Chain A
């Protein structure tokens, strides 16, 4: 078996195990070294992905893993997001008794998301989803004495347990229908499958992936996790599972026969998700919760590209470009919040633009990128998304998304207005030098992507097509 094809994943796994052992034998003062180990692991893994960039789509390990450009691009994005989240963490976690293991759990959760993105087999998909979920629950509950964190973790766990059970049920039904878990065999056999049973299986799988995406009807964990989890974890979990699940969902719906009407189902979920997320975010008085609801609505936008998959060749490209822009902007926003010691209520953000001009600028820029204001990378992501949606013949979906974008402008700008136009309440406590650097790095990535977006788009267009 070609072990080299899995080198990025194997490195990540070994790195995670090493970190767990390292943290078991190291005194607390030196546990921050685990962050360095995690970054080295992520860098090595990303290096291997770049080295073996697939020119033609293929599968490996008996057809279980897909080796194609979308998978590699998604994996790279997952690793970059993971690196940003890891570099946000050392200052935040320094006083925690379990500082070292934290990075091991982060890497396991990234590995699960990578498996989702590359799964070309429904059992592989289940394993990826379970690994990513099981590693994420303890991350959310990492501060055991902090009640909101416990509440968020409990909600996350309960919703996750339910939807993962549905996902497994769907996969088992699918296996019963076609007698194989591999995607190529499934595609070939699905035309003769029983329609009702196939619809139930499809519904279950979509529900399971909607949980990881943070899409309706399994979105309820997202705002709680964004609010209650440690701020670096909130940044990680609003981004990374979404990257994996979006690609996994795209792969899965691509298998289904036209009789399943999946574009209608996905576009309906997309509309409900983006509208619900935006309406709920409108009245939030808590910035982290607001960002949580905003990530729900961003999942809705991402689903637009999945709805037009197969109708236009640009859909996959648009999906990945949008996700990349979203990931960078959301991580930059959470990096600022981490640097500000995870402050939550909107009132605590009064006048921060005067006291903390650089960090406040980063937060405002990342929020504008989330809306999609032209010079920033978020605009290009959304532009490609709308273009693909229109090309795919879902004009009404693009119109709803445009209205939603206008609505979202209100709540993002409200935070900006409070930071700029109010007078500061009291002095601001910030986390430390490392979190400052991590925030600058996240902002630098966002700006670099914005400036170099033309080149990046050309390059990835060549890679994907």
Chain B
């Protein structure tokens, strides 16, 4: 083992020990619990634990696609805000060219918003007006 390697080991042995300790602790907890722990069977033992209340129905419910739509629209305009922050902190440096660029950017997103409204993406009620003439 040369000088450099032993230097590295001397400096970082604690990290290696930490990784080993984590793995060892996990193994110990799982193995010891499975060896020492008691087991009991029963009909109600296999039910999901809901703090003493019986669960009703399946957890796999279908919900309206509108929720995803809201999430997507949120992300789009959130990212718009992110870009506008970058523009805002460099407002003086980029000058009117930057203003023009930001304006084009905002107008393109505005066009998207207009489109969304027209095709009915913003109609939250189940039966809105017909999206397309």
Contact = CB atoms under 8 A, between A and B. Distances in A.
Contact of A17 (B97, B111, B132, B133): B111
A13 B119 CA distance: 21
B112 interface: yes
Interface in A17-76: 17, 20-21, 24-25, 27-28
A17 B132 CA distance: 19
Interface string B18-30: 0000000000000
Nearest to B131: A97
The binding surface of chain A is classed by DSSP as helix
B112 A20 contact: yes
B85 to A, nearest CB: 18
A327 B97 CA distance: 38
Interface residues of B, number: 10
Given A13-B108, A27-B133, A28-B132, A21 B97 contact: no
A20 B115 CA distance: 7
A24 B133 CA distance: 10
Contacts of B97: 1
A17 to B, nearest CB: 5
Contacts of A20: 111-112, 115
A21 B108 contact: no
Interface in B94-133: 97, 108, 111-112, 114-115, 118-119, 132-133
B118 A24 contact: yes
Interface string B62-75: 00000000000000
B118 A25 contact: yes
Contact of B114 (A13, A21, A28, A101): A21
Contact of B119 (A17, A24, A27, A28): A24
Contacts of A101: 115
A42 to B, nearest CB: 19
A363 B126 CA distance: 48
A1 B101 CA distance: 11
A21 B111 contact: yes
A21 B112 CA distance: 8
Nearest to B115: A24
A17 B119 CA distance: 15
Contacts of A97: 132
Interface in B34-56: none
A261 B132 CA distance: 56
A279 B118 CA distance: 48
Nearest to A10: B104
Contacts of B119: 24
A145 B112 CA distance: 25
Given A1-B97, A13-B108, A21 B115 contact: yes
Contacts of A25: 118
A24 B108 contact: no
A27 B97 CA distance: 38
Interface in A216-274: none
Interface of B: 97, 108, 111-112, 114-115, 118-119, 132-133
20 contacts: A1-B97, A13-B108, A17-B108, A17-B111, A20-B111, A20-B112, A20-B115, A21-B111, A21-B114, A21-B115, A24-B114, A24-B115, A24-B118, A24-B119, A27-B132, A27-B133, A28-B132, A28-B133, A97-B132, A101-B115
